[in-house]
Structure 1
Amino acid sequence: MSSYSGHGHHRASMAYSTISEASTAAAPDYGTLRSNSHPFVRSTRRKPRRWPLVLRFIKGAVHIDILLPVVLHALFTAAVVYLDTYVIARGIGLPATIIPSLSIVVGLLLVFRNQTSFNRFWDGRNCIGTINTCIRNLTRTILTHSRNPDGTPLTYAETVDVERTIRILIAIPYAVKHYIRNEWEASWSTTETEGEDLRDPENPEGRPVTNPEYDALLPAGLQSHEEEGLGFPYQLTFFIDSFFQRGVQKGWFHAPGASQLQAQLNGLTDAFAKMETIKLTPIPVAHLIHQKQVLALFGCVLPFAVVDDLGWWSVPIVSLVTFTLYGIDGIGAQLEDPFGYDRNDIKLDAIVEDQRSEIETVLREWRKVTPTVNIAGKRVKGLEGDEMFIRKRLWRKPRG
């Protein structure tokens, strides 16, 4: 077993457990309720494109991936033109009527490839949206129903339990993201892919370093069983389901309500399983082999069909045609696994961070309105009124 308890857990317990300190803090400045942010601020494009898309050849494009086959076909075409012009007197051209038949086959293969890949991309994004929706619903229901029926304030242990559960809900998208990318060791991030903030200066080639933001969300002393075949996102759902049971025993949730919560948790697990299916079920290799062979065959036959009419112009024309066909194939290859780090993949990192900001904002609001008992046993009333997101406006008497 590998343990995930670390320095981040100590910081988490200090940051989230000092209920008495939060309740005695100064009242916030209601004149500046909005911060420099907005929903999905990280998931959307924030700067205009410098160049039109038609002039882009590097970022987001597949030109580098298809450069080798395009160059090889261009060289082959040049060889065909040279032989037809200078070596073989009677010529080696073929009738142009063979091109339409091959074009139909190539078109059908590329349509199937691209449509299948885009469906995988779209289904993957829908699964992420389902996970986010389930977490939102679970967060809302847990925070609005975690109250004692007799009106007594939550004990210190109960408050910590609620906040611990919400933090685990925030951690689930992180766990799904790392799991679906084959990044084991949940609170660790590969330095090559997680940005400069996590890059180890002593070994910039890729030694894992801990991700304190993710580590702080996990329960202290948590141990994973990934080396035994247990997925870490699935492991975290047990903590959520156990909280439902404790809530029913305390009277926070009635039986039908707990069933609805479990339905949301089951929906989250189902969406995660669909992402696994997309990740672990590639397009059959027989189709990929045949598609590559048909593309190569078409690119090799095309020069013979156009050499008599175009001469040396056959080289750029064939290059453009193969560039188009191999480009479509390259796009499909990138979209086949939409959970990676390619520019055309789903922005998992940004989506996860945006949801974290959203849920943490809701949790802060819940702290402000929820009466609790601090660790010393003293009752502490929430800083605000009895309802979340409601602010009292302070009206000043007009002068004069």
Structure 2
Amino acid sequence: MGISDLAFLIINFIKTLKATTMLVKNNKSSIVFFIKSIWVDIAAIITYALVIGTLDHNTILREIAIPLPITSIMGTIVGLLLAFRTAQSYDRWWEARKVWGEIVNDSRTLIRQTKQFLPDSDSELKEFAQRQVIWCFALSESLRKIPFSKRVGSYLEQHYIKANNVPAELLNRHADQLALVTKKFGLNDNKQVQIDTTIARLNDAMGKCERIKNTVFPKSYSLLIHFLIYLLTSILPFGLEDSFPAIEIVLTIVISSTFIAVEKTAIIMQDPFENSPTDIPMTALCTVIENNIKEICSDTVIPAIQTDSYYYIN
């Protein structure tokens, strides 16, 4: 592997590391999660490098020599595939984060519109606000495919809500209530359309999250990259300079481990709704939404959540 190829790999790894740092910021559990996900591969690489590196200088294996251009070409191919894979994975993660940013904004907008257009109805405002908060938590729990929390379950039971898609049903309840208050308060068409448009945007955001959740990376693509990394690891000791055994072993470990770390980072980022420490911080965002809605409804300052919990899952 030439200097330019190694430099390309290092630059790509640094970019990926920056992305990973944003994912795991202020969250020690995510660092532990990442280490646990790669330690088996790293242990295998270290074992292979030590065994082959030793045999390569003391047995007939020293006669095996793979031309450096072959190793360089293989390393370049793997590096390019990993760069492409990492970029795609980060795009998915970032799209999911942007969608939840839209949910935060539209949740605030919905309650602000309800408060302004229905100024004499605290009960109607409270009902919209409570349902919107439950919708946010229900959506996050549905995307993670975990049982509904006690709070969400209690609300669903209290309001007799049973559906395969609970978040969608909650938005339907928003629309039903909007139709009722339109008649009750004589809401003009312009105001009704504005509120309905906000509900429609929330529905669109939910659909985007479901699309990201249900669209998976081709398994064959992941297997191909993983196979190529191990193929490169297998030939690497025979393509490096044999004059310094220790350096050969260290380079084999470092280069192969870097590839594995980049690959695992891409795998982690490609699924932002898997209830892992590197998820989109949906629970924390839901809490932010709840605090904002309470402030809008009560016109009082609500204490902000702790910064550390922003990136914590449950």
TM-score (norm 1): 0.64
- In the alignment, does 2:286 pair up with 1:319? no
- Alignment match, 2:158: 220
- Alignment match, 2:105: 133
- Alpha-carbon distance in structure 1 between the residues aligned to 2:157 and 2:130: 9
For structure 1, the residue ranges without an aligned partner over 5 or more in a row are 1-44, 51-55, 148-153, 189-209, 367-400
Check whether the contact 2:45–2:256 (CA below 8 A) recurs between aligned residues: yes
- Alpha-carbon distance in structure 2 between the residues aligned to 1:172 and 1:300: 51
- Alpha-carbon distance in structure 2 between the residues aligned to 1:67 and 1:268: 40
Cα deviation 1:92-122 (Å, max 9, x = unaligned): 2222221221122101110111111111111
Query: Equivalent residue of 1:183, what SS?
Result: coil
- In the alignment, does 2:43 pair up with 1:71? yes
Q: Give the Å deviation of 1:262.
A: 1.4
- Alpha-carbon distance in structure 1 between the residues aligned to 2:29 and 2:210: 32
- Structure with the largest fraction of helix: 2
Superposed CA RMSD: 2.6
Check whether the contact 1:58–1:64 (CA below 8 A) recurs between aligned residues: no
Match for 1:163 among 122, 126, 130?
126
Between Structure 1 and Structure 2, how many residues are aligned? 277
- Alpha-carbon distance in structure 2 between the residues aligned to 1:66 and 1:123: 26
Cα deviation 1:350-371 (Å, max 9, x = unaligned): 11111101101221239xxxxx
Counterpart residue identity of residue 222, structure 1: Y
- In the alignment, does 2:135 pair up with 1:172? yes
Cα deviation 1:119-178 (Å, max 9, x = unaligned): 11111011111111111111001011114xxxxxx5xxx543331122101111101111
Percent of pairs identical after alignment?
19
- Alpha-carbon distance in structure 2 between the residues aligned to 1:296 and 1:318: 11
Counterpart residue identity of residue 97, structure 2: R
- Alpha-carbon distance in structure 1 between the residues aligned to 2:82 and 2:162: 42
For structure 2, the residue ranges without an aligned partner over 5 or more in a row are 1-21, 301-314
- Alpha-carbon distance in structure 2 between the residues aligned to 1:291 and 1:306: 22
Check whether the contact 2:117–2:191 (CA below 8 A) recurs between aligned residues: no
Cα deviation 1:213-248 (Å, max 9, x = unaligned): x456557232322xxxx2111010011101221222
Counterpart residue identity of residue 308, structure 1: D
- Alignment match, 1:107: 79
Check whether the contact 1:96–1:306 (CA below 8 A) recurs between aligned residues: yes
Deviates more, 1:158-167 or 1:241-250: 158-167
Check whether the contact 1:57–1:63 (CA below 8 A) recurs between aligned residues: no
- Alignment match, 2:172: 238
- Alpha-carbon distance in structure 2 between the residues aligned to 1:255 and 1:89: 82
